[in-house]
A and B are shown apart, each in its own frame.
Chain A
Amino acid sequence: MRRNGLRVWALHLALLAVLASAQFWLSPYLATNLARIMVLAVFAMGYNLAFGYTGLLSLGHALLLAAGMYAAGLPALLWGWSAGPAFIAGLAGGGLVAAVLGLLALRTAGVSFMIVTLMFAQAGFLTLLYFAPVTRGNDGFAVAAASRSFLGFDLSTDTPRFLAAFAIFATGLLVSLALMRSPFGRTMIAMRENEERSRMLGYNPFTVKLAALTLSGLYAGAAGAAYALLFGYVGASFATIQYSILPMLYVLMGGAGTTLGPFLGALLMFALVEAATGLTTAHQFIIGAALVALVLFAPKGILGTVRERWAKWLP
């Protein structure tokens, strides 16, 4: 266990070191893409906490992403908040909406849970459209340059943006790793594996799942806020069902219930779409085919398969 711990931390820190250095050897275009991938990976890591570890298959995470995005973007737009407070507002927004969603939706399970989360997310998206005079609806709005500065750094320029994305990603990754090595992480997995048995052992499934979903919402909120502040755009399109599907796809591809899976999945899907752009404009086809192929041939995802076959120690 102790040697495993060393190996696991070394692997994660090595990945972070490679990523931190990436801005020096990647072109600005690729570095910006990598920043985007890291922000989306934070979203996917949050999804993984709910789906991969706790077994909550949500189809409504776009609601949580949008909650973070608007909780950060609207104060910036309306009252000129700077990046620091706006980010915290986004984080809180994601967590709060997730907690409320959980209080309602966690009374259901399985397929009902999926549909309830889907419906709440759809209601959230439609609400954004309904209050278009405030939220600017489908057109969205740009976050003003004044709000995109943090401690004097301009987050709309390449290096600060990359570093901010990296910092959020690194925090998210290390927190989820620490969580999975903690007793509470084990309890989350117990809920996924056998809810009845963990209830018998004295755990309250509802509170464990609520805590996991809220945590997942904090990640989604952080990703939404980071997206708004780093890339300067907030729009209702981020609340559409597409953004509930994407983290699921990333997690399924990288490996559900693995700490590095969400990032790997996001990276690969980005690369896949980028590579296919020269050949075809049928992006949706790639997403669809990837989903079907994954459930048919590799339901455990890449790292899930690696863990099963070769590296049992992967967290």
Chain B
Amino acid sequence: MAFGPFLLLALMEGLVTAAVLALAAAGLSLVFGVMRVVNVAHGEFYMLGAVLAWAVTGMIPGPAALTFLAALIIAPVLVAALAAVADGLILKRLNYDPEATIVATIGLLYILQQAALSLYGPNANPVPAPFEWRIQLPWFGYSGYKLFVVLAALAVLLALWTFLSRTRAGLIMRATQVDRMTAQAFGINVDRVYMGTFALGAGLAALAGVLVVPIQQAQYLMGHDPLLLSFIVVIIGGLGSLRGTLVAAVVIGLSDGVISMFFSPTLAKILATLLVAMVLVLRPQGLFGARA
């Protein structure tokens, strides 16, 4: 294959990575922005989304498109419910202290990972794509489903943005983000906002997991990479800034795609992790962060 089409393929693969990453990172960013909680278990919610998608599509009979649609709804809702329980049982009792919650979510990470290993097993299992449709480009064929992932992620992010900027619940969330105490003084039930935010963040990660599973297979350790990449995206984009998260996801996704294809995936990840460490050291507000 010539260089041009090869680059195009790398960019398309990168765009798919970026789309999935943007969803997962938006969840992480939301949780950090509103609650000031760094959720280390975020990758496990992503993994649970994928594993539950496998379980749901396996249990419900019917055409692939229909069962996948069911998974797309059921898995994120279940994961969100689980996150809400974890919030009430653990995070709330820690008073959302930043350092204690990190330790607690590390513990949660181990618990969820072990639960997946014990109940689901160590194997990777495929989930059939909802439709088999290939786009035939002059140089190579490309999976239509991957394109669908990009569009679906865009739609969800647009919906999230509308929710945050146009609805009353979104307004309450933003108010809590800006000033927890004042929000409480105005009669906002901050505990419920936090629980809802944590559930929403986990649901977004799970949704990303469901979308990725026809491409990548479901496996109990799959949450590791998205966690690190989400951290990278959220930090480079500026913590708590949705627009920055989206831009950073595209940048990281595309460069990951290109470097992985032309050099090595490991090198791509080394560069990304070093980049994020240096961004935090030299420009703590992130490249697109609003706060000085």
Contact = CB atoms under 8 A, between A and B. Distances in A.
Given A119-B276, A122-B228, 17 more contacts: A104-B277, A107-B281, A112-B284, A115-B38, A119-B231, A119-B232, A119-B273, A119-B280, A120-B274, A123-B277, A126-B266, A126-B269, A288-B110, A291-B106, A291-B107, A296-B94, A299-B100
Contacts of B284: 108, 112
Contacts of B155: none
B181 interface: no
18 contacts: A108-B284, A111-B98, A115-B276, A115-B280, A116-B280, A116-B281, A119-B280, A122-B269, A282-B117, A284-B113, A284-B114, A288-B106, A288-B107, A289-B111, A292-B90, A292-B108, A292-B111, A295-B104
Contacts of A294: 103
Contact of B280 (A112, A123, A284, A285): A112
Contact of A291 (B103, B231, B264, B267): B103
Interface of A: 57, 59, 104-105, 107-108, 110-112, 114-116, 118-120, 122-123, 126-127, 129-130, 245, 248, 252, 282-285, 287-292, 294-296, 299
B281 A108 contact: yes
Contacts, number: 113
A288 B264 contact: no
Interface of B is mostly: helix
A282 B264 CA distance: 34
Range class of the B interface residue count: 35 or more
A290 B106 CA distance: 11
Interface of B: 38, 90, 93-94, 98-100, 102-104, 106-115, 117-118, 228, 231-232, 235, 264, 266-267, 269-270, 273-274, 276-278, 280-282, 284
Contacts of B90: 292, 296
Given A127-B270, A292-B104, A296-B94, A111 B38 contact: yes
B270 A126 contact: yes
A32 to B, nearest CB: 26
Contacts of A295: 94, 100, 103-104, 107
